[in-house]
A = this chain, B = another copy of it.
Amino acid sequence: MTMAKKITINDVALAAGVSVTTVSLVLSGKGRISAQTGQRVHNAIEELGFVRNRQASALRGGQTGVIGLIVSDLAQAFYAETTSGLTEALESEGRMVFLLQGGRGGEHMLARLNTLITQGVDGIIIAGSPGEAGAALRARAQEAGIPLIFASRANYPDDNDTVRPDNMLAAQRVTEHLIAQGHQRIAWVGGESSSLIRAERVGGYCATLLKYGLPFHSEWVAECGASQKQAAEAVQSLLSLNPTIDAIVCYNGLTAIGAWFGLLRAGRQTGTGLDRFFEQQVALAAFAEAREQGQYDIPVTWATISGREMGYLLAERILQRVDDPERVLHHAVLPPGLVVAP
């Protein structure tokens, strides 16, 4: 219960036989300190187990070592992974993360941003759609002189620093894969037509078909709600109207499972026997934004979009910005992965 004594730069200075100024200088690597003195100070720091008090440092105007993260909704797996990756990367750089939630529609983002600014952070990341608030957020951060980066799953057009996945490329990848496997009549199932993310993916799918001179019919692009059942029904009606379809790109993992059921129902799979589970006539591909793909034992080729990788990328970018706030705007893009069906 002995409250461990706090070590300050004064203690270090005393032990090293120098002044606090010198210690501070050594700590920040600023002023020109002789190698010898530097060594003495470092030794003292080591021996005493000194750690710089960020409160004091920040109070005096230095960096806080803290990055603020406002995520729209942590319960969304993709953003949970992003947060995990970001935190991991920043921890390894000796930084910390202030976590706040902005609401799915971004309704609290401005308030949270203000909180972060008054709390004192070195930089801020906003993960998820900021809704209407984008411009206001940007303005406020600039006013406070704090670097701000937006991260999201779709490409909301704006003039901010931005990190986002390459949805189009992901769609191209899976589509090309299906084509390389010999499929020629490829359909799309899933997502709501109002979704920006879906728009980008369908775009990539469509562009790839055309690029390879394959048929593209708008009737082959089916919209459906976010449930297995709806996906299964969409697939069935699609196949009954267009029996020649030999492959389907699905909007996400849930759609893929539903599509699988749909194929079974439509008799386009060999049966329900487990031993024959992995034989099929119509190939499936889908997008995976979380680790889910490892969980489903159905034969699907996945375009993976890793939240974790996005977190790493964000960490890198925000630290660059903190060190050099004057850099020009940058749009970073996260390349997709491809996991071929077994």
Contact = CB atoms under 8 A, between A and B. Distances in A.
Which 5 A-B pairs have CB atoms at the shortest separation, nearest pair first?
Answer: A80-B80, A74-B84, A99-B99, A55-B59, A229-B297
Nearest to A254: B295
Interface in A284-307: 291, 295-297
A88 interface: yes
A80 B91 contact: no
A142 interface: yes
A318 B80 CA distance: 23
Given A59-B59, A227-B295, A295-B227, A261 B274 contact: yes
A216 to B, nearest CB: 28
Interface residues of A, number: 62
A139 B119 CA distance: 30
Interface of A: 1-4, 51, 53-56, 58-59, 64, 66, 69, 73-75, 77, 80-81, 83-84, 87-88, 91, 96-101, 108, 112, 115, 118-120, 142-145, 227-229, 232-233, 236, 254, 258, 261-262, 264-265, 272-274, 277, 291, 295-297, 308
Given A87-B74, A120-B55, A274-B265, A99 B101 contact: no
B297 A227 contact: yes
Contact of A115 (B96, B120, B262, B273): B96
A119 B55 CA distance: 7
Contacts of A291: 75
B142 A296 contact: no
A56 B54 contact: no
A308 B96 contact: no
A80 B87 contact: no
A225 B119 CA distance: 46
Given A3-B144, A97-B99, A229-B274, A84 B75 contact: yes
Contacts of A81: 74-75
Given A55-B55, A265-B274, A96 B119 contact: yes
Given A99-B99, A265-B274, 4 more contacts: A53-B118, A74-B80, A75-B80, A97-B100
23 contacts: A3-B145, A4-B143, A53-B120, A54-B119, A54-B120, A55-B59, A56-B59, A59-B59, A66-B98, A74-B80, A74-B84, A75-B80, A84-B101, A88-B101, A91-B101, A96-B98, A96-B99, A96-B119, A98-B98, A99-B99, A227-B297, A229-B297, A233-B274
